[in-house]
Structure 1
Amino acid sequence: MGHIYISAAHKSSGKTSLSIALCAALTRRGLRVQPFKKGPDYIDPLWLTQAAGRSCYNLDYYTMERDEIDQTFARAMQDADVGLIEGNKGLYDGLDLDGSNSNAALAAQLDSPVVLVLDTQGMTRGVAPLILGYQAFDPAIRIGGVILNKVGGARHEAKLRRVIEHYTEVPVLGAVHRHPDMHITERHLGLVPSNELASSAGQIQAMAEHVAREVDLEALLALADSAGPVPGLAEVPMPATGRPRRVRVAYARDQAFGFYYTSDLEAFERAGAELVPFSPLQDTELPEADGLLLGGGFPETHLETLAANRAMAAAIRRFVEGGGPAYAECGGLMYLCRSLTWGAKQGKMGGIIPADVVMHERPQGRGYVRLMETEHHPWPLGGEIAAHEFHYSALENVAPEVAFAYRVVRGHGIDGKHDGIRFRNLLASYTHQRDTRRNHWVARFVDFIRECRA
């Protein structure tokens, strides 16, 4: 089974659109395409999942051990024909000076050939030193081909191809011209999630048609076949399973709330929890459940609908005030506050957390975080937590008696010093956790649900 790593010279080169289109184009050929995304990200994986028809998995050095990345990759690849890993930012970008957590490092670890996506707007002869420089920077990284993106027309494509063929030995795998439907609408957190767009399926198919015409898919698959071998299932330790008494966890999943990692949802099943979806936008009652999970999303873009659904807000409030165990992240935290303001729009929210949410023009918290638990955490790990945050909102008028479950070591959280509001058996924070070997938060939360319901 082959695999390729889609990267770029820099951010906003169009690699996400191309990755989505490639997943869809290869799937249309009858191949089982397994998508992956480097780093912490919810939105790109939603698109990749829809394009491939298979759940996308995140691979992230900050929250995962290196061998854990290998194992996650191998397990997901077992019944796939080809794997596609979409990078983040540029090929050599990363937190550390030595590049040990860069896209290049991950491609080397997985032994995946790199396809470099190049934004060629305003570029002709300059494409050659760009490619040569990326090759020379780290000769151990195998750049197996380039895809020219945002090409201005046939003449522009011809010039670019002649330059690359004359000065380099890197194959041109495709030249994707400027097409309006290759552009996915963006807003403050990046791409608009596919679960919010009724037109997403049609757009993905249009993107796949462009790529099928303008990329040599046979050459791409041949390059993927040159990748290193994927370990067999017998060589990969499986996560532990088997927990006492099953519990039911109601989790918010609709156009406003959809930020969940595939591996975290699988961890709920392993912990003995049945996940029951519900919609804060459309439903008026919670499903019968022992615990409640409110993930991230975009409550601000659905402000009026959420504010109008007082029945659901009241149902959640009854659950939490009655001692029901609940966990909320980012958008879920926002929804549980008194009010949400975005520009001229304002609406009532859940009214459980004594604070008001205000949207800002710039990010209030963005990137990786490190947290230390306080004595107020309802289901503690017992150590430092590595996670991430990305929010344009901030809490105002926070009641002084609020108890915080975390002290922020790195990042911003709620006020630059604290995160994780504890109210009865609810924990609500801006931080997004990942269930990994370093932090099995799902099992701890599910065990807490059992304790509360005992």
Structure 2
Amino acid sequence: MSSYWIPRLVIGAPQGRSGKTTVTLGILAALTTSKKLKIQPFKKGPDFIDPSWMTQVTGRNCRNLDSFLMTKEDVKRAFARGAFDADIAVVEGAMGLFDGVDIEGSGSTAEIAKAICSPVVLVVDATRMTRSIAALVKGFQDFDENVLIAGVILNKIARPRHENMLRAVIDHYCGIPVLGAIPKGQQFIIPDRHLGLIPANEDDELNLAVQKVGEAAGNYLDLDKLLEIAAGAKAIELDEPYISNISDDTETSQGLKPVVGIIKDRAFSFYYPENIEAIKDAGAEIVIIDALRDKKLPYINALYIGGGFPEVFAAQLQSNESLRSDINSAVEAGMPVYAECGGLMYLCQRLIYHGLAYDMVGVLPCDVQMVDKPQGHGYMIADVIDENPFFPAGAKIKGHEFHHSRVINLNYQAAKFAYRVERGFGIDGKNDGMIYKNVLATYNHIHALSVKEWAANLVNRAAEYRQIP
């Protein structure tokens, strides 16, 4: 057993759209600038978008904590490993505090708060509410005795009299502090895109909006009281050490590291930090590839293509014909490739967006088309049913999907599937994980802490490919 302690907060809410992201970004920005603190941000759940903004604000890679994908011990280790050299950790929740995948609240923000022994600050949208807010807050305080609601932040306050009434009733009936009140008009809004919010690296102009919300947080929130609450968190007890004991200079038995290329750019930006770290820990060297700018494929032994918004950059991806040709040739030569969602789209024949068709890498026997409504949204469980480069038959793969693209013109005679979908949609409602030679392309986003054999298998396939004459 070992223990770990750091000041920490979980930012929760009674429901989605209460202002958690606004408030969390404001707290991060204010503590970073005015208090000069090193803040480790976390996001509850499998989201990629909010973490991109939290990373932008703090200068530290935001990490995800997810009790559906991870065991309780994995959540604790992921938290401790991510935050070990920070001054404070801040976790943004998702949906309502107690909302999960079942009536027990499995996978909820509350579960994360309990796992990491963190006090919770509740963000409440106070629109058209006065005394009733006390009933709401009191209900959250009493719902689970193991979740500490340590304070409230009021959002969308109408006027000073409104704020005074809310503060008085919370003090009288709930006995916890109001840590700030944000007036209407101070909300930080990131324009919606079909998957939610725009990633931070896609709109540089919005950095000014982040700066403004940080200034608003400094004006309207009690930062000192927030820090006091964070410092009151209890130590986390861990069954195992949280720092990897695999050094960065690990080599394979052949004495040379296999090289794994990762396409990471504006089109493909959805990567969990732990996935990349797991590949390094498994003994590989990482080479980052920009599919929009790099004209040739560098020397690599395997390729990992994550998710993102390839449709937004479809014309640029198509125009980089030399890189697409290199990837096609490498696939035909047997190079192992693992592709998720946007990566699957890139490997198809064509990508159809707003009525226009763009040529992609062209190794999978299908096209992909963007549509208005989500085709798959939520957690996913897949059973491995066929031989593939990365997982044994019989394995069960947990992950999540969120895509507005669908596979069309699929040649089922040429297609093989690694997965049968137990929960979720995948490629066609029944199957996911398209196999072509040593390619596995899937709509399922996995986390290395949930699918622990994935990184080692990827690196092993890379090492095998490196030895082919």
State the match for 1:420 in structure 2. Answer: 433
State the match for 1:386 in structure 2. Answer: 398
State the match for 2:457 in structure 1. Answer: 444
SS of the residue 1:286 aligns to: coil
1:439 partner amino acid:
K
Q: Write the mapping of 1:41-440 to structure 2, written as runs, cut at 5 A.
A: 41-179=47-185, 182-230=188-236, 235-236=241-242, 238=244, 240=246, 242-244=250-252, 245-382=256-393, 383-400=395-412, 401-436=414-449, 438-440=451-453
2:12/2:120 contact within 8 Å kept: yes
Distance change >3 Å, CA 370–CA 239, structure 1 → 2: farther
State the match for 2:21 in structure 1. Answer: 16
Residue 232 of structure 1, CA deviation: 9.0
TM-score (ref. length: structure 1): 0.95
**Which deviates more from structure 2 when the two are superposed, residues 122-131 or residues 254-263?**
122-131
SS of the residue 1:25 aligns to: helix
1:434/1:441 contact within 8 Å kept: no
- CA offsets, 1:276-329, max 9 Å, x none? 112212222222222111110011122222223222222221221222221110
Distance change >3 Å, CA 390–CA 306, structure 1 → 2: same
1:124/1:156 contact within 8 Å kept: yes
Q: Using the alignment, how far apart are the partners of 1:60 and 1:239 within structure 2?
A: 23
- CA offsets, 1:88-142, max 9 Å, x none? 1111100132224321122122111100011122322322211112112223321
2:316 partner amino acid:
T
Q: Using the alignment, how far apart are the partners of 1:398 and 1:150 within structure 2?
A: 49
Gaps of 5+ in 1: none
1:385/1:439 contact within 8 Å kept: no
2:13 partner amino acid:
A
State the match for 2:9 in structure 1. Answer: 4
SS of the residue 1:268 aligns to: helix
Distance change >3 Å, CA 100–CA 355, structure 1 → 2: closer
Q: Using the alignment, how far apart are the partners of 1:274 and 1:243 within structure 2?
A: 9
1:74/1:232 contact within 8 Å kept: no
2:23/2:217 contact within 8 Å kept: yes
Task: State the percentage of identical aligned residues.
Answer: 42
Moved over 4 A (4+): 230-235
Q: Using the alignment, how far apart are the partners of 2:198 and 2:225 within structure 1?
A: 31
1:292 partner amino acid:
L
Distance change >3 Å, CA 181–CA 275, structure 1 → 2: farther
2:7 partner amino acid:
G
- CA offsets, 1:390-428, max 9 Å, x none? 111110111122111111121111011111111111111
Q: Using the alignment, how far apart are the partners of 1:165 and 1:346 within structure 2?
A: 60
Distance change >3 Å, CA 310–CA 181, structure 1 → 2: farther
1:74/1:231 contact within 8 Å kept: no
Q: Using the alignment, how far apart are the partners of 2:453 and 2:264 within structure 1?
A: 22
The CA RMSD measured in Å over matched residues stands at 2.0
2:29 partner amino acid:
A
SS of the residue 2:204 aligns to: coil
Q: Using the alignment, how far apart are the partners of 2:369 and 2:292 within structure 1?
A: 20
2:11/2:20 contact within 8 Å kept: yes
Distance change >3 Å, CA 438–CA 325, structure 1 → 2: closer
Distance change >3 Å, CA 336–CA 153, structure 1 → 2: farther
Q: Using the alignment, how far apart are the partners of 1:296 and 1:24 within structure 2?
A: 27
Q: Using the alignment, how far apart are the partners of 2:322 and 2:243 within structure 1?
A: 45
Distance change >3 Å, CA 181–CA 315, structure 1 → 2: farther
Q: Using the alignment, how far apart are the partners of 2:26 and 2:392 within structure 1?
A: 40
Residue 230 of structure 1, CA deviation: 4.2
